[in-house]
Amino acid sequence: MKTQTITIIGLDRMGASVGLALKKSSLEATIVGHDTDSAKAKLAKEEVQAIDQAEWNLVSAVRRADILVINSPVADLESILQVIGTELQEHTLVLDFSGLKRLGLSLAEQYLQKGHYVGAVPILAADYLADGRSDPTAATFDLFRNSAFCLMPSPKAEPQAVETAVNFGLLLGALPYFIDPEEYDSLVQGSDTLPGLVSLAMFNTLQKATGWRDMLRFAGLPFTLMTLPLANERDIPLQALNNRQATLRWLDAMVDELKTVRRLIAEENDEVLAALTEQLATEREKWLYDRQKNDWDERRSPPIRPRTMSEHLFGGFARRGEEKDE
């Protein structure tokens, strides 16, 4: 039987964790990894053991992939799709993890001449939400366990490809959640784009302070986590301008909240400020509890008939590709 191959582009913590989760399963597949940073690829293979092979050439990495995971910043997605658009097999499932799903679908429509595109987002497990590490040595097989696997298939993707995407998420330990790409983008405009812009503004504010150098010496976890989005700095402008009006509405709302807090401090209204802080801390604890339980109103996939592990993952899809190759 022909060896099945899964290729992961982008071997940061998320990409390496995908590899570890696949290896933890009983799936028999060759996992190929590619990263523009050769040091990350070496770590993922030799130290983390998340991949079987590290391939420095992007085209070589994707040509034999039955499943291709694109775990890249939004800023790199177009160039990747341009390069691989004609190099994929006809049956290849392309899982795009990048952050803007409507843009991803549009770029796939423009550049992918082969394969079946499914926008996807594996959501972090609750236990890792406050862990800001991003290097491959921080990878773990259960990074997405008991969470959601958001799926936004291209209208051109065949049902077997979508089924394969569902089962891929199950191997990661995540439940499928189908959502419209525009709805997804609008939801994360607040939860992803706004933190990036706040991070930018806060860092810029503090670095202009007279005692900036001393602040660097004493800065701790709150400052580090608050400025973490700047580690992916090229995506912040793209996300902010993707839906400019929505971004402006979120910024206006944020400014209004800051003005309220400023007023309470100026008035020395410790009672209201303490009550507001307590209320929001309770809401945050409730959110974390709900994420831990993962008891949401999921939009689940249709029932899938039992198959062998190989068939269960590929949904017969890769076998069809082999038949065509023959």
What does the alpha-carbon distance between residue 244 and residue 84 come to, in Å, rounded to a whole number?
Answer: 30
Give residue 26's pLDDT: 77
pTM: 0.86
pLDDT at 161: 94
pLDDT (0 to 100) of residue 238: 93
Identify whether residues 239 and 318 lie together within a single domain: no
User: Within a domain: residue 201?
Assistant: yes
Domain co-membership, 194 together with 170: no
106 and 203 housed in the same domain: no
Q: How sure is the predictor about 40, in pLDDT bands with cuts at 50, 70 and 90? A: very high
Is pLDDT at 300 greater than 70 in this prediction?
no
**Is a pLDDT exceeding 90 seen at residue 41?**
yes
Give the domain-ending residue among 251, 267, 283. 267
What is the domain range of residue 222? 184-267
Q: What is the pLDDT of residues 113-156, one digit of tens each?
A: 999 999 999 999 999 998 888 999 999 999 999 999 999 999 99
Q: Is residue 290 part of a domain?
A: no
Convert the pLDDT of each residue in 170-216 to its tens digit. Answer: 999 999 999 999 999 999 999 999 999 999 999 999 888 888 888 88
- Overall number of domains in the chain: 2
CATH label of the domain that carries residue 235? 1.10.3660.10
pLDDT of 237 reads: 94
* 292 part of a folded domain: no
Cα gap 70→65, rounded to integer Å? 12
Q: What is the pLDDT of residues 50-95, one digit of tens each?
A: 999 999 999 999 999 999 999 999 999 999 999 999 999 999 999 9
Q: Which two tokens stand for residue 147?
A: 């969470």
Percent of the chain scoring above 90 in pLDDT:
75
Contacts 24+ apart (CB under 8 A), 293-298: 294/126, 294/146, 294/147, 294/148, 294/175, 296/148, 298/148, 298/175, 298/176, 298/177
Does residue 304 carry a pLDDT above 50?
A: no
For residue 305, the model assigns a pLDDT of 43
